[in-house]
Structure formats: structure tokens, C-alpha cells
Amino acid sequence: MHDTDVPLIEARALSAGYGSQPVVRDLDLEVRPGEVVALLGPNGAGKTTTLRALSGGLLPMHGEARWLGEPSRAPLHRRARQGLAYVGERAVFTRLDTADNLRVGRVTTEQALELFPELAKRLRTGAGMLSGGEQQMLSLARALCRAPRVLLADELSLGLAPLVVDRLLRAVREAADRGMGALLVEQHVRKVLDIADRVYVLHRGRVTMTGTPAELRGDLDAIESSYLAEKTIHATDGFLRPIEVNAPTRKAGLRDALARAGVQRVVSLGGPGGTPPGLSDDGFHPLQRLMRWVNDE
Ligand SMILES: Nc1ncnc2c1ncn2[C@@H]1O[C@H](COP(=O)(O)OP(=O)(O)OP(=O)(O)O)[C@@H](O)[C@H]1O
Ligand SMILES: [Mg+2]
């Protein structure tokens, strides 16, 4: 069995944020070998910030971010060499093909195909041309095939079809069964609860609920409704006339709301000229991927 006595990653009374403003406050959280831990919460709750603070991407303002049992200020690349895998946004090189993405990630195609045989026919396809699901399989293959001690993944399954989500989550569960720890930020609440050992729910930077999936089943509705924060979506109808729709940005409710409003094409998922909460200044935001999903479907 795995040594479950020492958490792989741990936050103790951790506060972290940007500039002088903490976004996540007084956080206590841990991930032990062999467990899948889900981190849930609405847009802007501080989930991505938590992952950054736990992976060395952001230094703590107060409290401790511990790595392998010790307080650590080591940057992400050093932790990566020590077995930390981070799957965030833009996790593939879109200008390289699938095989080259694996090579750059120092993963053999044999290892990757063992995990995701679906990629076999896509080895010479540019990663930018892969479907969203294939891109995430590629990112996850790059992360899991190096046998990390711990995986931190941010919205692995956003905008993906349910069967693909199952596929990705099952791969994470199997790696955890072999001893890896995983911390998953997920929007598919019910699906992730099926594979998670423990759950933290974050709201406005604080943990508001924690427990096992069994303990939280009764609160599922409350958890899911906290995801249904509405945003004004700018879109066009079939005659290219602009329309505004107030819709939940989480995928489940978004599709219905847009269909009811007769939306043909989404122009922006923020307010007027506004930045959606949680939009990071580096690379693709989950909302952008969501928008591509809506427009390409
Ligand atoms: N690079 C940054 N600089 C300044 N503020 C930021 C930065 N990234 C995030 N924030 C702010 O921190 C808060 C929490 O953002 P974070 O991205 O951690 O939330 P989240 O729970 O991951 O949200 P989402 O579900 O939208 O991904 C938000 O108010 C956001 O505007
Ligand atoms: Mg986020």
C-alpha cells in the first residue's frame, strides 16, 4: 500500500492572491497518496488560485503551502522534477503534432497509447487540429505517463462530451489507485463525485464545505446551484442581430439557455466589454474554450 501518513501537498491556513489582495483565505487542504480530491466552486471562487498556490506558481501571503511534507517555496519547474504534474490551460503545443507533443513531454508514444489508444490515428495531426477531448487526452497522457506523485488539474473536462469526461476521470482514478494523489478542479460535480475520495467546496476564497462524496450527496443541489451564477452573454441570432442572454456559464445550463434564446453565435461571454471573473491574463481561459465549444457545436 501507499504511505498515506504524509500528505503530498498541503495548505495550512494558507492565504494567496495577487498584488496585496488575498483571493484565497485561511485555506486548509491536503492531498494524500492514492486519493482523488475534488475542488469545487463557482466562477471566481479561487480554485485556480488555489492550484497555483499549491504548485509554486504563487507564493503564500500567509500560512504555508507544503510539498512532500515540508513548507516549500520551490517554483513549479523544480516541483515538476520532483513529481508534480500540473494540467492547466493551454496544456498542448498547438503547432506541434501529437507525437512531437509527447516527445517534448518526454513520454513515449507506446506509453501514451496504452493510456489512450484513441490517439493512435492522431499521432501526425497537429495538436491544434485535435478535438477538445483529444487535446485533453494528450495533456493528460503527458502528465500521467511520467508517473507523477501528484496531479493538479484545472477544469480538465470543461466543454467536453460526457463520455470523454468519463474517460479522462477514469484515467485519473486508475493512476490514483496505483498511488498518485490528485487534486481536480471540476465543473462536472456529479461525475467527479463518482471517482473522488474527498471534496472541498470553495466559495469566495474560503472552504464552505468539505467531506466525502457520500457525506455531501445531500448537499449536491446546493453545490450545483452555487455554480449557476449568471453572466450576460453577447450573441447573435440567425439574422446576425445582436442579442443579450443571461445564462449560467456552466456548460449544463448554458446550452439550454442559448437554445431557448435562439442564439446562433456567441460573441462574448463577459459583460459589455467586461472581463469575466476569473479571467487570467495568461493564455486561454476556460470560458474561451467554452465559447469555442458553443460556436463549434
Ligand atoms: N492574474 C490575476 N491577477 C489578478 N487577479 C486575478 C488573477 N487571476 C485571477 N484573479 C482574480 O482572483 C479571483 C479568483 O480567481 P480564480 O481564477 O482563482 O477563480 P476560479 O475559481 O478558478 O474561477 P473560474 O471558475 O472562473 O476558473 C477572481 O476575482 C479573479 O478576478
Ligand atoms: Mg479557474
**Mutate which of 14, 18, 61, 282 for ligand 1 pocket (most atoms within 8 A of beta carbon):** 18
- Whether the CB-CB separation of 45 and 204 falls below 8 Å is answered with yes
Specify the higher pLDDT residue, 143 or 273: 143
Query: Given its phi and psi angles, is residue 185 left (phi above 0), alpha (psi -120 to 50 degrees) or beta?
Result: beta
Q: Which helix (H) or strand (E) holds 53?
A: helix 47-55
The CA-atom distances, in angstroms, between 226 and each of 91, 115, 268 are 28, 34, 22
C-alpha 290/C-alpha 278 separation (Å) is: 14
Residues having CB within 6 Å of any atom of ligand 1 = 18, 23, 41, 43-49, 277-278, 280-281, 286
* pLDDT reported for residue 189: 86
Supply φ then ψ for residue 248, to 5 degrees: -65, 140
- Whether the CB-CB separation of 38 and 192 falls below 8 Å is answered with yes
Q: What are the tens digits of pLDDT across the range 139-148?
A: 999 999 999 9
**Mutate which of 186, 280, 287 for ligand 1 pocket (most atoms within 8 A of beta carbon):** 280
Per-residue pLDDT, averaged over 33-59, amounts to 93
Is 120 in a helix, a strand, or coil? helix
Where is average pLDDT lowest: 40-49, 168-177, 266-275? 266-275
* pLDDT reported for residue 288: 59
C-alpha 188/C-alpha 71 separation (Å) is: 32
Give the predicted TM-score (pTM) of the model: 0.79
Going from the Cα of 197 to the center of ligand 1, the distance in angstroms, rounded, reads: 26
Question: From atom 9 of ligand 1, which residue's Cα is the shortest distance away?
Answer: 278
Q: What are the tens digits of pLDDT across the range 232-267?
A: 677 777 777 777 766 655 555 666 667 777 777 777
For the chain, the domains span: 9-225, 230-296
Homologous superfamily (CATH) for 9-225: P-loop containing nucleotide triphosphate hydrolases (3.40.50.300)
Q: Give the environment of ion ligand 2: residues with CB less than 5 A.
A: 47-48
